[in-house]
Amino acid sequence: MSASPPAPPRTVICVGDIHGFVAKLESLWSNLEAALPADAFATALVIFLGDYNDRGPHTRGVLDFLLALPERHPGQRHVFLCGNHDLAFAAFVGVLPPPPDGSPFSATWDEYIHNEEHEGWFRGPGYEGMHVQGRRWGGAIKERWNPKKGLPYKGSIYDAQPTFESYGVAHGSPDLAKAVPEEHKRFLHDLVWIHEEENVPIDTDEGQIMCNLIAVHAGLERSIDLNEQLRVLRTRDTRVPKVAMLSGRQDVWNTPKDLSGKHTIVVSGHHGKLHIDGLRFIIDEGGGYEDKPIAAIVFPSKTLIRSTETEGTTSQN
């Protein structure tokens, strides 16, 4: 008897930032299911790149959708990365993993305390034991206009008001911790800061190659020691006031020097744009804007799939 052919490599799907837009997420998921062969979709590794909350109106619905996936698609593997918005949400509702050295979360305030007044950090019940990003998230920014986005702020520097309201409480209310269901808190607590996968195939002009894949919300810093970055990410080191690999902008755009020349895919969301340069992939077409789609990329083919639902229109394909 002839040997059976090797199993085709597993399809890997990386989904960009969702930001509370559940209709777009549902549309994207339907489009992925329609675009892929049934067996490839049914057994795919699906990596969500983070930022499930804020800006859009349905954070609660997004988390319900994601939590239902393992039961709906038992043959898939689902990885939920932590974005900077998710870390801040987790910090506010008290489910961020504690610092590994036992230090208090208040030790994270010092570096950014000069911004407290301007950003209107949260000072309600429980603030004394809260990570700086939770205080920023649940605070009330004094300025109404975000010049970088060309939109009004929604409650805080993180645009967190729609998240509070999706759970039926006013922005900045400490009652959010009671309103968020236990399974949502567990989801936020369990989010990983990095996912590393070996033997991911990718199609190139020279044919298919096998790569290691690193998925992290914003990217890896180009100039900082890679091993130290990986330590912070793998251990979820919440002593760090602001984790550049989850929230940075310029310094995390390119692949670190230590990985250049190695077959390593680095894939992120966070940046509000699509950017593909060799093995560096930034997949965040939506950016939390109402009129932009959520995008996903499928390996090995590097096919981009988008949501068509833009809160009431279907003009985007």
Task: Report pLDDT digits (tens) over 249-263.
Answer: 999 999 998 897 789
Please report the pLDDT score of residue 262 as a whole number.
86
Please report the pLDDT score of residue 6 as a whole number.
58
Separation CA 139–CA 133 (nearest Å)? 10
Please report the pLDDT score of residue 111 as a whole number.
95
Task: Report pLDDT digits (tens) over 35-73.
Answer: 999 999 999 999 999 999 999 999 999 999 999 999 999
Q: Which of 8, 48, 58 is CA-nearest to residue 28?
A: 48
Give all strands of the β-sheet with 77-80 in edge-to-edge order.
77-80, 45-48, 12-15, 295-299, 303-306
Please report the pLDDT score of residue 261 as a whole number.
77
More confident position, 142 or 246: 246
Please report the pLDDT score of residue 7 as a whole number.
59
Residues annotated as catalytic (active site), given as ranges:
85
Contact 264, 280 (CB under 8 A): no
Please report the pLDDT score of residue 260 as a whole number.
78
Q: Is the peptide bond before 300 cis (omega within 30 degrees of 0)?
A: yes
Separation CA 302–CA 289 (nearest Å)? 24
Q: Which of 205, 216, 293 is CA-nearest to residue 253?
A: 216
Contact 81, 194 (CB under 8 A): yes
Q: Which of 286, 291, 290, 277 is CA-nearest to residue 305?
A: 286
Amino acid at 37: P
More confident position, 279 or 317: 279
pLDDT for residue 32 is more than 60: yes
More confident position, 238 or 206: 238
Calculate the average pLDDT of the chain: 93
pLDDT for residue 312 is more than 80: no
- The domain ranges of the chain are 12-98+182-306
What mean pLDDT do residues 203-216 have?
Answer: 95
In this prediction, residue 311 has a pLDDT band, given cuts at 50, 70 and 90, of: very low
Separation CA 210–CA 254 (nearest Å)? 20
pLDDT for residue 316 is more than 50: no
At the second CATH level, the architecture of 12-98+182-306 is 4-Layer Sandwich (3.60)
Separation CA 268–CA 215 (nearest Å)? 6
Contact 113, 241 (CB under 8 A): no
- Percentage of residues in the chain having pLDDT higher than 90: 86
In this prediction, residue 317 has a pLDDT band, given cuts at 50, 70 and 90, of: very low
More confident position, 270 or 100: 270
Please report the pLDDT score of residue 257 as a whole number.
86
Please report the pLDDT score of residue 5 as a whole number.
59
Task: Report pLDDT digits (tens) over 136-192.
Answer: 999 999 888 988 888 899 999 999 999 999 999 999 999 999 999 999 999 999 999
| Extended strands (E) in the chain | 12-15, 45-48, 77-80, 145-146, 151-152, 195-204, 207-215, 264-268, 274-277, 280-283, 295-299, 303-306
Please report the pLDDT score of residue 314 as a whole number.
36
Cβ burial, residue 100 (10 Å; 0-12/13-18/19+)? exposed
DSSP 8-state class, residue 193: S
Query: Is the pTM of the predicted complex or chain greater than 0.85?
Result: yes
Separation of CA 192 from chain center: 10
pLDDT for residue 4 is more than 80: no
